[in-house]
Structure 1
Amino acid sequence: MNLPLLNGRQIQLWRMAIYFIFALPGFAIASWVSRTPTIRDDLGATTSQMGWIIFGLAIGSIIGLTLSSHLIAHKGGRFVMIAGLVISSIGLVIVGLGGSWLTNGIVVFLGLAVFGFGNGICDVAMNVEGTAVERAARKSLLTGFHAAFSVGTLLGAMAGSAAIKLGIPVPVHMALAVAVILLSILYAYRLVPAGTGKETGGESAEPPMRASERMAIWKERRTILIGIIVLGMAFAEGSANDWLPLVMVDGYKVTPALGSFAFGLFVAAMTIGRAAGGKLLDRFGRVVVLRASALFAIAGLLIVIFGHSYGIAASGIVLWGLGAAFGFPVGLSAAGDDPRGVAARVSAVSTAGYLAFLVGPPLLGIIGDSVSLLRALIVVLVAVTVAGLLSQAAKPLEGKESSQ
């Protein structure tokens, strides 16, 4: 991977810009998630129908993730990040119009597909940038970057809850969210060096990867195992992103505003966990942190599934959020241990994680129609358990331990 030669101040500005950029997709996702109860009611959709509508987000994400490594190899991370944010903003506008003004589920599905595509390519590009900053700064930073994502999600959830209380229509809410994202891009992109992630041979004596070599990464045993870990932990995170407001509204008979507050509580817990992630990883290492996070998520899910009141479930949501904090960033950091082909490995592991978003929404929706959304979360519980059992695969490669 081509790494730009920068001085200390330039690296610091680059690092700050990546924190900022990581927050934007989180803000965008929360803007959509916080309004799912309203959109569901406006569309008159059942739980399983909402699952299939959300499926559009997964389809767009998978396409974006699959193409991302090739785009980054040719255009660089900065270009792909900015393009992804612009495309996802267009998707949000379509979702808002289709959900509450046109009240057309197909339009919402298509809007989510566009949103997912933009989010998918941006996701890989910003994680490639994150691993590059880690190596340039010689520090463990990726969990901190994902904490910024969670901060953005928390701000988006708070804004969504406020929009519900103020009676702001969904299309207006989405338009305001897009304005925030686009104005932020204008400021942040100038601080990111161009060309990061391009496969040009760069500082390595090895030649750049061919397309066939990037695809062969999908057969690597370590990459596959890390992908399974990320899949399980992403399911824990993604199920909350997709369903937590509806889980609380339907399962605990609370208002949509309290459902959005519960989602904000989950994001706040995940943010705290990720903010402490760098120090925890430096002290205990990836494997111990991943195992502990799986145990936290398992405990939290059990409390939410079998809790008898909103207050008890809220304590479970906190544990669930803390447990879900580490899987994605730690898995992606592990995928980036080898600088050569980092974009392809990060893309492969991200795609594996997004399979949770592909399978999760319709699966939980269908099961939820039969046994309730609360009981459907048992599937998530199983996935997290498998991820915890495979944590050893994320152990740093020999000679690559400089950034856990």
Structure 2
Amino acid sequence: MSSPSPAAPRARTAVYAAFVLNGFFMSTWVARIPSVRDTLGLSNGGMSLLLLAFSLGSVLAMPIAGAVVLRFGRARTVLGGSVVVALGLLVVSVSVDGFGSVPPTALGLFAAGAGVASWDVAMNVEGSAVERRLDRAIMSRFHAAWSLGSVASAGISVLLLKVGVPTWAHLCAVGVLVVLGTTVSTRSFLGDAAPATAGEQPRAGISLGQAWREPRTLLIGVLVLCMAFVEGTANDWLALGLIDGHDVSHSAGVAGFTVFVVAMTCGRLVGPVALQRLGRVPALRLSAGVAAVGVGVFVLAPNVTVAVVGALLWGLGAALGFPTGMSAAGDEEANAAVRVSVVSSVGYTAFLAGPPLVGLLADRTGVVHAVTAAAVASVVALFVAAAARPHADGVALGAGGAAAEGKLSS
């Protein structure tokens, strides 16, 4: 095994920063959604249509983000994405507090969605490259950093709301922060033309169209989609399930959701240990199985205490699927950008389709039983996890003599 590049530890810190800043922005926007709705005088239905602009920006940008990374490089794409996010926030700020107008607000959200999608793909590609240089499966920790950034932003947002900081000032300040932060952090990214690892033969890159026709890449996309659905269902419906199904207070429902978030973050922090000891595919299967059991316990719980235990297992099980799928997509560095963009495009559809699907089920069965769909998705993920076995043309992290079995070690 070759020794890690001296630049790899600095790049690892830089990727952590990129994930933290991305999560910080997202949580800031979520915290300001009620303020934007009230200022624009929108109903909940009208606000949901406005939020669709952000989702459309992300969904449309995601498939071409890989090509952008190949053209401009990972560092420039992350920095460029943060600039587009900041410009989008500026447009939103002026439109909401300056003019009270919906169309330009939607345009700003569309831009912010496109910027954050490109940023997301590029930082995952860089994270995969850092894993390869360090020979350690640490992608889940990068995603844990995203969660920590979102939690920090949520806390700061609560304080700013309490002291009456206006929406425009909050959003603009965060826009400046993410641009300055990514400007500094991307300077320590790895070079895009990094040398091949010992034993790896250079390969010509595939096109985006070819990546969309690769069975392995599409199956990894299905894995990520399923686990994103598992995570997203909890984000949208877990607290409501506790409130409606166990007649608890709003604060108790949110507390139950907090258990899920903390469990998922802890699972991502310790995920590399499971990947090291079990290997990628067994760890993914275990993770998906624990998620399915957690959802089942939550749905069938006779009381709120047991339901919270289910939420804890649900969070632990949801921890590894999404980041490990991204890592698997980037196994072969020459084609990491296009494959990560394909996997992201497939996976992120869960965040669009998930809420209305569970909502329709909830109208018929109640929220508690509707989230059973997350258990079904976990079972599907368990069966397609084999697709994440290290790519035959890539280099398995810490493979040693176990490469054929897809083991990952630190």
TM-score normalised per structure 2: 0.81
Give the AA of the match of 1:71. V
Identity of aligned residues (%): 36
Give the AA of the match of 2:232. G
- 1:38-77 pair list within 5 angstroms: 43-46=41-44, 51-77=48-74
Q: 2:134 aligns with which of 124, 129, 137?
A: 137
- 2:357 counterpart of 1:359: no
Deviations 1:343-371 (A, max 9, x none): 11111111111111222244344555665
2-side partners of 1:36 and 1:387: how far apart?
Answer: 32
Match of 1:226 in 2: 220
Match of 2:82 in 1: 85
Q: 1:377 aligns with which of 366, 371, 374?
A: 371
CA-atom RMSD in angstroms: 3.5
Query: SS of the residue aligned with 1:9?
Result: coil
Question: Comparing 177-186 with 134-143, which one deviates more in the overlay?
Answer: 177-186
Query: Structure 1 residues 246, 188: CA separation in 2 closer, same or farther (over 3 Å shift)?
Result: farther
Give the AA of the match of 2:58. S
Query: SS of the residue aligned with 2:137?
Result: coil
**1:290 shift after superposition:** 1.3
Match of 1:237 in 2: 231
**1:277 shift after superposition:** 1.1
- 2:274 counterpart of 1:274: no
Match of 2:404 in 1: none
- 1:384-399 pair list within 5 angstroms: 384-398=378-392
- 2:141 counterpart of 1:147: no
Query: Structure 1 residues 167, 301: CA separation in 2 closer, same or farther (over 3 Å shift)?
Result: farther
Match of 2:330 in 1: 336
Deviations 1:53-102 (A, max 9, x none): 44333321122211111111111000001111222233345556667886
Give the AA of the match of 1:195. D
2-side partners of 1:380 and 1:394: how far apart?
Answer: 20
2-side partners of 1:353 and 1:275: how far apart?
Answer: 22
2-side partners of 1:334 and 1:309: how far apart?
Answer: 39
Give the AA of the match of 2:340. V
Match of 1:118 in 2: 115
Query: SS of the residue aligned with 2:333?
Result: coil
- 2:314 counterpart of 1:316: no
Query: Structure 1 residues 113, 267: CA separation in 2 closer, same or farther (over 3 Å shift)?
Result: farther
Query: Structure 1 residues 175, 371: CA separation in 2 closer, same or farther (over 3 Å shift)?
Result: farther
The answer (yes or no) to whether the contact 1:157–1:263 under 8 Å persists in 2 is no
**1:13 shift after superposition:** 0.9
Query: SS of the residue aligned with 1:135?
Result: helix
2-side partners of 1:208 and 1:165: how far apart?
Answer: 52
Deviations 1:163-190 (A, max 9, x none): 4555555444433433432332233122
**1:328 shift after superposition:** 1.2
Higher Cα radius of gyration: 2
Query: SS of the residue aligned with 1:331?
Result: helix
Q: 1:284 aligns with which of 248, 266, 278?
A: 278
Question: Comparing 113-122 with 307-316, which one deviates more in the overlay?
Answer: 307-316
2-side partners of 1:94 and 1:400: how far apart?
Answer: 44
The answer (yes or no) to whether the contact 1:154–1:268 under 8 Å persists in 2 is no
1-side partners of 2:340 and 2:318: how far apart?
Answer: 19
**1:18 shift after superposition:** 0.9
- How many pairs align? 391
Give the AA of the match of 1:144. R
Query: SS of the residue aligned with 2:334?
Result: coil
Question: Comparing 376-385 with 59-68, which one deviates more in the overlay?
Answer: 376-385
The answer (yes or no) to whether the contact 1:214–1:341 under 8 Å persists in 2 is no
Question: Comparing 366-375 with 184-193, which one deviates more in the overlay?
Answer: 366-375
Match of 2:27 in 1: 30
Query: SS of the residue aligned with 2:68?
Result: helix
TM-score normalised per structure 1: 0.82
2-side partners of 1:259 and 1:50: how far apart?
Answer: 23
The answer (yes or no) to whether the contact 1:51–1:366 under 8 Å persists in 2 is no
- 2:188 counterpart of 1:186: no
The answer (yes or no) to whether the contact 1:154–1:267 under 8 Å persists in 2 is no
2-side partners of 1:274 and 1:364: how far apart?
Answer: 25
Query: Structure 1 residues 100, 307: CA separation in 2 closer, same or farther (over 3 Å shift)?
Result: farther
Give the AA of the match of 2:282. V
Match of 1:3 in 2: none
| Residue ranges of structure 2 left out of the alignment (5+ in a row) | 399-407
Question: Comparing 99-108 with 216-225, which one deviates more in the overlay?
Answer: 99-108
Higher relative contact order (CA 8 A, sep 6+): 1
Question: Comparing 284-293 with 72-81, which one deviates more in the overlay?
Answer: 284-293
Query: Structure 1 residues 205, 299: CA separation in 2 closer, same or farther (over 3 Å shift)?
Result: closer
Question: Comparing 113-122 with 368-377, which one deviates more in the overlay?
Answer: 368-377
Q: 2:395 aligns with which of 388, 397, 400?
A: 400
1-side partners of 2:72 and 2:105: how far apart?
Answer: 30
2-side partners of 1:97 and 1:306: how far apart?
Answer: 48
The answer (yes or no) to whether the contact 1:157–1:264 under 8 Å persists in 2 is no
**1:229 shift after superposition:** 0.6
Question: Comparing 267-276 with 153-162, which one deviates more in the overlay?
Answer: 153-162
